[in-house]
Amino acid sequence: MGIHADLIDCLGSLVSNRVFFGILPIAVGSPPVVPAIVLPVDIVTPVNTICGASDLQDYRMQIDTYTATHPGMLTLRDSVFAAVETKFPMAVRLNDMYAFDADLKLHRRIIEYSIPAE
């Protein structure tokens, strides 16, 4: 599997398979269904060796979690850490930031990982 499929596989069970790429889907006139995870950013960097670029790639992945409550966000945050670090043992957590989305009235956690080619 590719890294995106692996992420969906390890994160999906945490949020009833509500893992999306790019944006959080919202039906017109309805609030978003949460908890949910959005993968808005991925940066792919080729791995360089002494001989130049290799066929391997490193990934820098942003994982945004959305919940209705602050305690729910903290619980989901810890679950994301455990799931990603179990699935990708060499993953390095780069950032972990809290944000409140005033428009959606949701608690958001922005988590960023560097996941090396294995």
Structure confidence by residue, pLDDT tens digits, 63-83: 999 999 999 999 999 999 999
Phi-psi region of 96 (alpha: psi -120 to 50; beta: other; left: phi over 0): beta
Can you tell me the mean pLDDT for 107-115? 96
User: How many C-beta neighbours within 10 Å does residue 78 have?
Assistant: 10
Count of domains in the chain?
1
For residue 54, the 8-state DSSP code is: E
Whether pLDDT at 8 is above 90 = yes
pLDDT tens, 47-61?
766 766 667 778 899
What confidence score (pLDDT) does residue 6 get?
92
pLDDT band at 116 (very low <50, low <70, confident <90, very high): confident
CATH code, domain carrying 72? 3.30.2000.10
As a whole number of angstroms, the distance between CA 49 and CA 47 comes to 7
Mean pLDDT of the chain: 91
Tell whether the model's pLDDT for residue 12 goes beyond 80: yes
1 — pLDDT class (breaks 50, 70, 90)? low
Q: Can you tell me the mean pLDDT for 9-36?
A: 94
Phi, psi of 95 (to 5 degrees): -145, 155
Opening angle at CA 60, ends 1 and 4, nearest 5? 25
Range of the domain at 80: 3-24+32-37+46-115
Pairwise pLDDT comparison (20 vs 43), residue with the higher score: 20
Q: Reply yes or no: is the peptide bond before residue 35 cis, omega within 30 of 0.
A: yes
pLDDT at 68: 97
